[in-house]
Amino acid sequence: MHRLVLNSRAWRQASRRTSDRAEEIDPGNTLLWRQNLNRLESEIIRDAVLAVSGRLNPKAFGPPVSVTSPVSGLSMVEPGPSGNGHNRRSVYIFARRVYPLKFMEIFDSPIMAVNCTRRMNSTTVLQSFAQLNSDFVVHAAKDTGDRLLKAAGTNKSNFITLAWQTVVGRRPTDDEHQACEQFLAEQTATWRQTNPAEARQLAMADLCHMLLCTNEFIHVE
């Protein structure tokens, strides 16, 4: 049954709307003329952020990763004894009913206090805030920029292409590439006013942060 479904034309279709006529006839996609747009699950989103930053610890098995219990409720993972435990895959995060990991909770991780028979995907402002402002994503963007800068060298064009391939999984279009070049120039000029020594690195980290905040990063197309 799984082989039949996975090899079917309906399963292998993309979610992009490529036919105006089909959109007029079946806007709700009841006839499966395209794939429905699906957002990544909360655990996969966190793992993907760690993976692009180069910080993901793929170690298997072992004790779970502890979660903090602050009064504010903004729980985070605690570093393990080796100093890299907080970068382990999300499946190893200790599940607590009172203090779930806040970043994954925002992206609809299962609630431990009740039975979860089916995962629900929501779209809220808090999710955008988490992508833009959480220390987890901001630090991951900086690590991503530093890692890609070493690989791309001083060539700005190569950095932009590598950033898109690493974060989004495809090469940028000509318009996207041009927009990124303009973005880097503007951000570099802005950072030079406050931190001229690291203006270039900070601008590249901002570009990676922007890509981590795109819908294309957290959705399966």
Are the beta carbons of 86 and 98 closer than 8 angstroms? no
Both tokens of 152, joined, read 């791309």
Residue 214 pLDDT > 60:
yes
Residue labelled with tokens 């996207």: 176
Residue 217 has what pLDDT? 92
Confidence of residue 82 (pLDDT cuts 50, 70, 90): low
Q: What is the pLDDT of residues 19-77, one digit of tens each?
A: 778 888 888 888 888 888 788 899 999 999 999 999 998 888 888 888 877 767 677 78
Helices 135-152, 156-167: inter-axial angle, 10-degree rounding:
130
Q: What is the structure's pLDDT at 73?
A: 66
Out of 54-68, 84-98, 165-179, 207-221, least confident range: 84-98
- What φ, ψ does residue 79 adopt, rounded to 5°? -60, 140
Q: Is the pTM of this model over 0.85?
A: no
Residue type, 104: M
Instruction: Using a pLDDT cut of 90, give the percent of the chain over it.
Output: 38
DSSP-derived secondary structure letter, 170: S
Above 80 in pLDDT, residue 88?
yes
Residues 6+ apart with CB under 8 A from 42: 90, 103, 104, 105, 106, 107, 108, 109
Q: What percent of the chain has pLDDT over 70?
A: 95
Kindly report, residue by residue over 144-189, the tens digit of the pLDDT: 999 999 888 878 899 999 999 999 999 999 999 999 999 999 999 9
The count of other CB atoms within 10 Å of the CB of residue 199 is 17
CA distance 37 to 49: 20
Whether the per-residue pLDDT at 142 is higher than 80: the answer is yes
- Whether residue 201 is predicted with pLDDT greater than 80 in this model: the reply is yes
d(CA 1, CA 15): 23
